[in-house]
Amino acid sequence: MLLLLQDRVAIVTGASSGIGRAAARLFATQGAKVVVTARRERELETLVDEIERTGGTAVAVPGDIRSQETAEALVRTAQERFGGLDIAFNNAGSIPERAPVPDLSLQGWHDAIATNLTSAFLGAKHQIPAMLARGRGSLIFTSTFVGHTVGFPGMGAYASAKAGLIGLTQVIAAEFGSRGIRANALLCGGVNTPMGQSVANNPESLAFVQGLHALKRIAQPDEIAQTALYLASDQASFVTGTALLVDGGVSISRT
């Protein structure tokens, strides 16, 4: 059986739940050695145990992805434990504060930018040199259709940060494509994750969000993880600089 990520080393952020957890497990089943991070240490250790029980290889590095020290520790662990770095799925994010722009606090704005955009910059800043040392690499960023094809009221800070990821992705792709590094952003629709449930937090709001999608449902984390696997693998060897909609048709649906 061909493993898509055989002998590759991957970092996955936001791995304690949702898309990150699903991606870490999937990457490991496809042969990658995985370095996982999030703030919740217990959940990370449970994830590592699950991966190892199914024959995979993983190590947890708990930390705050807004910290440069965490970004450095992840790359250092990948190099020291597994010999280098090939893949980085910069997935962690949150919606710290929802409010109309005039009511949004400055702290809420800063928190959204730090968690969703600055963290990705810090990750890439340290991941790229490690990938250059290998002569190849794939960076993947979790963005969203929010702020790209749709403006949702109350999400100004979140939308701005996630839209910024697309610009960061394109610049990295242009700067390092000639040296074997690809960079792509996943623009997710509604996903059944703890963060998604915080937005659609009752049956009525869930039904509304599902109805916005052409598929009339939201995604499961494993579905987004499969797309991340494609971008991480050589199957996407000529794909870089993309803002790839994985949104169940929410961007085009008017029904």
Residue partners of 119: CB distance under 8 A and separation at least 6? 13, 65, 66, 71, 90, 92, 93
Token duo for residue 47 = 């994830």
Q: Is 230 a catalytic residue?
A: no
**Sign, Cα dihedral of 171, 176, 178, 182:** negative
Burial bucket for residue 153 (CB in 10 Å: 0-12, 13-18, 19+)? exposed
Instruction: Tell the residue number behind the tokens 């997935």, with chain if given.
Output: 91
Structure tokens at 132: 């250059």
Spatial contact of 189 and 219, defined as CB atoms under 8 Å apart: yes
CA 70 distance to own-chain centroid: 16
Instruction: Judge residue 29's burial from the number of C-beta atoms within 10 Å of its C-beta, 0-12 exposed, 13-18 middle, 19 or more buried.
Output: middle
Q: Please identify which residue in the block is written with the tokens 């799925």.
A: 89
Residue with tokens 């090939």: 86
Catalytic residue among 120, 158, 186, 225: 158
| Spatial contact of 99 and 154, defined as CB atoms under 8 Å apart | yes
List residues with catalytic annotation.
158
